[in-house]
Structure 1
Amino acid sequence: MWVTKSYDDKFQQEYKIERKLLEIKGAKHTLELFNSQAFDEIALLDGGLLLKNLLCVQSEFLAHLSACSHKNPKRVLIAGGFNLELAFEFLRHSALQVDFLQFDLKVLESLISFLPHYKEVMDTERFQLIPQLSEEFLAQNAQEYRVKYDIILLLESNVNANSYAKLLNDDGILIVRTPQILLDVQKVRMQLESLEDFAIKMPFFAPLSVLQDCYIFASKLYHPTADIQLQRADMLEGLEYYHANLHLSAFVLPKAVKSALFGAAKN
């Protein structure tokens, strides 16, 4: 049997599975969990995938790339998605408070055996699960919302990134998921152009990721390669994926892509 991940109807990847372990329908999302010889387990979430033995790729990469690009991050918001390992990686930075925005708790709780550090994260004082903050709330109350963040990760598509950006501090960093850059470079350009009030806007990708996830790094102050905190990046222990050289290589794009994004990307 095979499970399929599609990319905007342009191409798809198939992953061999052995059997389905469970299926859960939450308030908005549907989770299917499969056993896989190659990846241990595969979580299929509305077409998106999490691969159990490669969770480190997304979680280490996004957490440490953003945290090591900021001089002194204190508070992080992870909005959307179910990869609680992101919070675990952020919590390696001793000063960070991590807020995890996800209201579909039925689905999140069903991943307790899939996510290796689920209980450890939930029991950490510097972690907070936020179940009810909506995009409508952000649009209407961003100016009055008292909490400000140094880093915000937006892991779902079709959200208003500028609404969340209003929750950033003046030196804040916003990470946004994008379409696959090689296939949809014009969509990525439009996404870059839609981001307001950022001095730096740079597309990047996770090197050697089988899921081919791509993102935008948007910052009001910090540059992800010029301002990388090398001592902090090199001091991290027990990692499987992230390191300083990989951080720097994530922003190296093909020449044709750089030309197509010229003027929209800011570096």
Structure 2
Amino acid sequence: MKTFIYPEMMTHVAMCTHKNPRSVMIISNQSDLIKVEMGRYREVDTEYLDANNLLTALRDRADKESDVLLLDTLSDDSAVFAHVNRILKDDALMVLKHPDLDDVSANTKLMQILGNYFKIIMPYHLEDGSTLLLCSKEYHPTADLILQRSDLLEGHHYYNCDIHIAAFAMPQYIRKNYLGIIRN
């Protein structure tokens, strides 16, 4: 996979879905490429946290401080997501890594935990067949796409508004496997 696809899709899908992202938290051990993408949003305060001490890092955060969270690590710890919910604003969204969609059991567990906190839970495709998971308290990633923001982005190699929408198309077997679990 080309190294620019993952950071562009993790960053811009979230940033072009949220109506007015002003505070972004990124939790990653390799955030250099995501930092490049976040640099395109000059009016956004961005904070980077190390993913190695995930629960400790989240415990120290203030309530309702972030509009967007990019979680560049796998977790299915319900305590982690309780803290995520606490630090996210009422209209916030999060993008995170998750197990391969063929692992229905692991994803079902994760999505059920996330369902306690988010109205919308939708996987989306990357070019290599892997997926990320968008979880939103308010905004739908295709219905609420900010076209002007996505069209005015410059300097990216992969992301655009058409890719954004197309990434959420799921094959029928995925729809069947996750019926009632994926929330869209």
TM-score by length of structure 1 reads 0.62
Identity score, percent: 28
Q: Does 1:70 align with 2:18?
A: yes
SS across alignment from 2:3: helix
Which one-letter code corresponds to 1:102 in the other structure?
Answer: D
Aligned CA distance change for structure 1 residues 200 and 86 (closer, same or farther; 3 Å): same
CA distance in 1, matches of 2:106, 2:69: 21
Q: Is 1:197 aligned to residue 117 of structure 2?
A: yes
> Greater strand percent: which structure?
1
Match of 2:95 among 155, 163, 175: 175
Asked whether the 8 Å contact 1:60–1:89 carries over to 2, the reply is yes
Q: Report the Cα offset of residue 240 of structure 1.
A: 0.5
Given candidates 135, 152, 160, the residue that maps to 2:69 is 152
Counterpart in the other structure of 1:117: none
1:180-259 alignment, distance < 5 Å = 180-181=100-101, 183-195=102-114, 196-206=116-126, 208-209=127-128, 212-259=129-176
Listed as ranges, the gaps of 5+ residues in structure 1 are 1-50, 105-132
Indicate the residue corresponding to 1:28 in structure 2. Answer: none
In 1: Cα distance, 2:10 partner to 2:157 partner: 13
Select the structure with the greater relative contact order (CA < 8 A; seq sep ≥ 6): 2
User: How far does residue 147 in structure 1 lie from its aligned partner after superposition?
Assistant: 6.3
Distance 1:137 1:252 in 2: 34
Q: Which residue of 1 aligns with 2:183?
A: 266
Change (3 A) 1:245 1:258: same
Count of equivalent residues: 180
How far the C-alpha of 1:101 sits from its partner, in A, is: 0.6
- Tell me, which stretches of 5 or more residues in structure 2 are unaligned? none
CA-based RMSD of the aligned residues comes to 2.0
Match of 1:163 among 76, 83, 93: 83
- 2:45 paired with 1:97: yes
TM-score, normalising length: structure 2: 0.89
Q: Bigger radius of gyration, 1 or 2?
A: 1
